[in-house]
Amino acid sequence: MPAASYRLTNIICLLALVMLSSIAFAGSENGTTSPVLSADQSEPTGRVFVRYRNADTTPGFISHRVSKFGRHLWRKQRNISLQRRLSPNQELLTLEQPLDADALRTYARQLEANANIEFVAPEYRRYTLVEPNDPLYRSGQEPGSQSYLYEGLFSVRAPGAWDITTGSQNSVIAIVDTGVLPQHPELRDRSIPALGYDFISADAPADYTSANDGDGRDADPTDPGDPCGSSRSSWHGTGVASIAAGNSNDGTGMAGVNWNARLLHARALGRCGGTDADIIDAVRWSAGLDVTGVPRNETPAKVINLSIGGPTECTKAWQAVIDELNILDITLVMAAGNESSNALRSSPANCANVITVGASTPGGSIDSGFSNYGLKVTVAAPGRDIVLAANTGATEPDADGNNYGRETGSSFSAAMVTGAISLMHSVNAELSPLQIREILQDSATPFDTEGDCTTYYCGTGILNLNRAVAMAQDSAASGTRNFEQTVVTDQISNLSLNQTLSDRLGGYRDIRYYRINTSESGMLTLVSDSDSDLFGYLLDSRLGVLALDDDSAEGRNFRVAAKVEPGEYFLAVERARHRLLDIESSYDLSASISTDQPTPFAFADVTEAAVNSSINSETISISGLLEPAIITVSGGFYTLNGAEPTSGQGTIRNGDTLGLTLQSSGASLSETRMFLTVGAFETSFAVTTKSSDSVLPQMATAGGGCHLLPGSNDASVTLLSVALLLLSFSRRQSARQTNRSI
C-alpha cells in the first residue's frame, strides 16, 4: 500500500478513537446510578471492631499499633484511624480504603496475629426485618382469607397466660429499633421516665443523614421517620413495642402481650438501617453496661428485642456482647429473618445463646412464604398480618396520624416472644436465658409434621404462652438441655482431618451435620467437591456460625475457614437453592487445619488494569515457616517457583517464590479479588479495571487494516464499523490511483 494510504488509514483509526472518546466521556457524566439497599443484604461499613487484651490501654493506642501492623500486611491501607472508643478495651477503627465482605474478614484475621489483640471483627450495616422481599409472602392477605382473620395472641394461648399474670411494672423490656412514637395511644405512659436514648452516630462530621433528626447521639429516642429511597417510614420500633407491651384492657385499640411491663427504647436504626457499632452500643446500654460518652442506664432491661439481620457469620463483636448479657442473665431475642432460607445465614440470629424466633402459619407450620427456618429457630410465633401500632406519616410522623396497621415479618413474631419472656419474668424473676430457652422449647406446641415441617427443618414448635408461663412459675428447668445440640447429635457424622468423606443430600429439605475435632490451634478449612450448588456453615461447639459460604460462582463448591482453638466444631451442609430441584446431591468433603504461618506478607493491588485480562502480581519469597505449609487459593491461580499457574492445593516451604494470577473483570471500574492461605496466614490480591472513559478501542493498522484489539469496550464495535466503511472508501480511492500509475 502506498505511504499516503497508510497515513489515511491511521487518520481514520484516530478519528474513530476521538469519536469513541467523546461517547465515553458523555456516558461517564450521567451514567451513574444510586445503589439500591436491600433488607436481605448486610453491607460492610469499612470499619472494624478491635478488642485489646489489656483494658488499661490509653485511647488511640490500639489504633496506632494496629495501623502500623495493618499497613505492613495490606499495602492499600495507608491509614487506619480511631473512629471512637467503645469500652475500656475496645475501639472502632476506620480503614482508609473500603473492602468487600470477604476481604474485610481476611484483613481482620490478619490483624489478629498481633499478640496484644483479643479479636478483630468487621462491622456491617443491618436492616429492620419488617417485610420480606419474596413475592410469595403476599399470598392470602386479602380480606376474608384465613390468614387475614387469624388472631395471633389467641393462637398462642395468651388468654390462659393472662389468667396467671398480666405482667409486672418491675419488668423492663428494651426495644432496640427505629425509636418510638411516645404519644401513640398504645404506648402512652408505658415507657420508663427517661424514655430511652438515641444511639445513631453521624455518618460523617455534621452529616446526620442516617439519624434523620439533625443531630447525633442524645437522650431523645423519638422516631423521626426512616424512609430509605422510595420506601415509606416503617415506624418499626413503635409497632414492635406495641406487640410486646402495648396498652391493654383499656377498651381501645389492640392488646399487647404484657399489659404492665415498662418499655425502654434504644434508637439504633435510622434511614436505611444502622451499623453494628451503634446497635451493639444500644444493646450494651439497655443491659446497664457502660458505653463511652453515654450516661449509664439506671433501669436495665431483663429482655431485649432486636429485629434486625443480614446474611453474614456471627462476628466476634456480636458474640462477645451476647456472652456479656448471658453472664448478667439478660435474654436477647432475635428475629430469624424473612428470606425463606436457613436461619444459619441470618446474623446476629445465628450467634450462640440467643432466642431466635421464626414466623408461623395458622396451619401450625413455619411460614414458608417468607420466614427463615432450621435448627437455629428456638421457637416460632405468628408473623403474618399482625395488628400493631402505626402512623400515617410517609416520611415523618403525622401528629394526628397515630393509628393501627397489619404487618408481616419475623420481627413481629420476635416481639410476641419478647412479651412472653417478660411475662415469665413476672412470675419468676430469677430465670436465666438458658432456662428461658429450655422452657420455651419444652412448652411449645409441636409443628404440624404432616406439612412442610420436621423438627430439624423448622425447630421445636410454636409459642404456647399459657404453658410457658405456667412452667416458669413452677420451673425446675436446668438450662442445660440444648435442642440445637440434640438435633445435630441425632444427625451427626464424624469428619476427620486430612481425610475425604463422601455423602449425599436427599432433597431440598435435607441438611447434614458433621463433627470435627482438633487438638491443635490454627486455620480450620472445610471444602466441598460436588456438581450441585451447596451451602456450608462452620459452627463452634455452641453452634454459633463462625463462617458460611455459597461458592456457586466458583465451581459450585463451598470453602469455609476460621481460626480455631483445640475443641469440637461442626459443619452443616445443605443445597444452596433448595427449592428449585428436589433431587439427591452427592458430594465429597475434606477438612484440614494449618498450624504454622509465615512472616506476614502482602501483594500490591493492581489498578488501571485492562478489562478481561490476565494480571500477574509481583513475586515474593516465603520466610518464617517452621515446617512446610499447605497453600490454597480461591478465585485465582498461584505460581510456585516459576512453575505453571495452578488453583489446586499445594505445599510451600521457606525460600519458595510465590506469585498470583487473576483475571480482571469485563466491566470498567470493577474490582476482582482472590484469596490466598499459607498455613494459618491469609492475604488477598485485587485487580481494578480502568474507568470506561479510558477503556477505548485499541486499534492496530498492521497489514494495512484497522483492527479492534482485546480490552476495548463493547460500544466500540458499532463506531469501528463506521471507521471501516471510511477505510474501505480510502482503499478504493487508493486502487484508482494505483491503476492510473500502472
User: Active-site residues: which are they?
Assistant: 177, 236, 411
Q: What is the C-alpha to C-alpha distance for residues 512 and 352, in angstroms, rounded to an integer?
A: 19
Taken as a whole, the chain contains a residue count of 742
Alpha-carbon distance of 501 to 528, in angstroms, equals: 10
Angle of the 433-443 helix axis to the 316-327 helix axis, nearest 10? 90
Which among 319, 443, 473, 426 is positioned nearest to 379, based on CA atoms?
A: 443
Distances (CA, A) of 327 to 298, 320, 350, 353, 475: 18, 11, 19, 11, 20
Look at residues 442, 263, 318, 461 and name the one whose alpha carbon lies nearest to residue 381.
461
Q: Distance between alpha carbon 609 and the CA centroid of its chain, in Å?
A: 30
Spatial separation of the C-alpha atoms in residues 182 and 386, rounded to whole Å: 20
Q: Which of 348, 351, 343, 169 is nearest to 264 (CA)?
A: 169
Of 484, 534, 539, give the one whose Cα is nearest residue 516: 539
The four Cα atoms 72, 78, 82, 86 give a dihedral, to 10 degrees, of -50
For 88-190, list the strands marked E by DSSP. 90-95, 117-128, 172-177
Q: Are 389 and 473 in contact (CB under 8 A)?
A: no
For residues 667 and 711, what is the distance between their CA atoms, to the nearest angstrom?
10
> In this structure, what DSSP letter does residue 310 have?
B
Within a 10 A sphere around the Cβ of 742, how many other Cβ atoms?
Answer: 4
Q: CB of 266 within 8 A of CB of 175?
A: yes
Mark out the alpha helices in 480-573 (DSSP H runs). Answer: 483-490
Which cell goes with 548? 458460611
Q: Where are the alpha helices (DSSP H) in 498-604?
A: none
User: How many C-beta neighbours within 10 Å does residue 12 have?
Assistant: 22
Alpha helix (H) residue ranges in 115-235 = 146-149, 152-155, 158-164
- 273: Cβ contacts below 8 Å, ≥ 6 apart: 37, 39, 125, 126, 127, 128, 210, 228, 308
DSSP secondary structure code for residue 80 in this structure: E
Contact 237, 252 (CB under 8 A): no
Output phi, psi for 719, to 5 deg. -70, -30
Cβ contacts of residue 421 below 8 Å, gap of 6+? 303, 331, 333, 355, 436, 440
Q: Give the C-alpha distances (Å, rounded to integers) separating 565 from 479, 559, 562, 652.
A: 25, 19, 10, 23
**Cα distance between residue 244 and residue 346, in whole Å:** 22
Cα Dmax for the chain: 114
- Report phi then psi at 576, rounded to 5: -70, -35
Cell 450467634 belongs to 351
Closest CA to 682 of 87, 291, 109, 46: 109
Those residues whose C-beta lies under 8 Å from the C-beta of residue 503, and which sit 6 or more positions away, are 493, 512, 573, 586, 587, 589
Strand boundaries in 325-398, DSSP class E: 331-335, 355-360, 379-382, 386-391
